Amino acid sequence: MANRSKKDKKRAHVRIFFPNLTESAEDTPPPSYEMPDVKDEAVLNYNGQQLTINVQMLNDLERLGTGCFGNVMLVDVVDHPEIKMAIKRMTLQPKDDSNNDFTADTDLKTIRAVGSQDHPYIIKFYAALIDTRDSQLVICMEAMDASMDRFYKAMHLAKKFDQLDPLLRRVSNNPERFKTGAPYGIRSDMWALGISLVEIATGIHPFERLQQFELMIKIETWVPEIPNIISNQMSELILNLLKTDLNQRPSSYDEILEMPVVKNVPQEPSKQEVDFVTSILQKIPPLDDF
């Protein structure tokens, strides 16, 4: 060793192996974005018409709204301009980091369960697809004239509240919504229903402007303020749904459906209700004005 020339020293190499890294890179299968029972093709069931579709056949027409997962779009189908539906896209994660998949899966289960019952007042579920190029779940459903948030904002702008109470009763009397088979979280759902009713009645989400830490403090002592245009029976229901002690909230949807204020909602909306809803729908400003 001592006699080695400078040239030899330069030639000495150290070889470092990373056998595990090399092997795992080769052995790891590509991430899977699949959902069990959803494929890149599906049979669309549109008002009695059956058609096999894929995402390439969907044309975006306009934006209907934006949620946590992005835009919900109005689309039609190539060669079938008569088919109009709303599509919600949810990005899927590889299977080993499946938070989003869980949400996508829950959303899909809910809209499938609720929207497959052919109820005249519940949006219909048409089909679910996987967009393999963008790794997204694409839920195809009936397009509403407007979502509840756009509706109530227009109602408050117009200051028209004569049918507010019947509207709240209808929102609460919604047995199909409740048949999702969710085995847990039912009392949290009660809270969510209570918040939605306050939001519709007041025109604003009660905690909209609060930061998370402010919310945690406020929620402990919060006493919901129910506008006095709301009937006593409806106010009572809302206050029960929003009890801070969850054991004091209704324990099942059946309990709500049995309350007179909810139970006695007629199946068919009255003429006053229809006229009211139609007049508000006509006042809804274009989406980007909100």
Cα 95 to Cα 26, 48, 80, 106, 128: the distances in Å are: 18, 35, 35, 15, 19
User: Shortest gap between Cβ of 233 and ligand ATP (angstroms)?
Assistant: 28
Task: Give the separation between CA 68 and CA 275, rounded to whole angstroms.
Answer: 33
CB of 237 to ligand ATP, least distance (A): 23
As annotated, the binding site for ATP includes 88
- Return d(Cα 139, Cα 126) in angstroms, integer: 8
Residue placing its CB nearer to ligand ATP in the complex, 123 or 215: 123
3-state DSSP assignment of residue 63: strand
The contact pattern for ligand ATP, residues 100-139, with x = CB under 6 A and - = no contact, is -------x---------------x----------------
d(Cα 108, Cα 125) in Å, to the nearest integer? 9
Note whether 83 binds ligand ATP by CB under 6 A. no
d(CA 249, CA 231): 19
For the bound state, the minimum distance from the C-beta of residue 90 to ligand ATP, rounded and expressed in Å, comes to: 8
148-177 residues in contact with ligand ATP (CB under 6 A) are 149-150
Sequence-separated (6 or more) residues with CB below 8 Å from residue 255? none
Output 72 or 193, the one with its CB closest to ligand ATP. 72
Which among 143-151, 156-164, 234-242, 257-265 is the span making contact with ligand ATP, rule CB under 6 A? 143-151
Q: Which residues 33-72 are close enough to bind ligand ATP by CB under 6 A?
A: 64-69, 72
Q: Which stretch binds ligand ATP (CB under 6 A): 130-138, 146-154, 171-179, 239-247?
A: 146-154
144: exposed, middle or buried (Cβ count in 10 Å: 0-12, 13-18, 19+): middle
For ligand ATP, the closer of residues 88 and 249 by Cβ is: 88
How many residues bind to ligand ATP according to rule CB under 6 A? Answer: 18
Q: What is the largest CA-CA distance in the chain?
A: 107
Give the number of other CB atoms < 10 A from CB of residue 27.
Answer: 7
Using the minimum distance from each CB to ligand ATP, give the nearer residue, 86 or 242. Answer: 86
**Would you tell me which residues interact with ligand ATP (CB under 6 A)?**
64-69, 72, 86, 88, 107, 123, 141-144, 147, 149-150
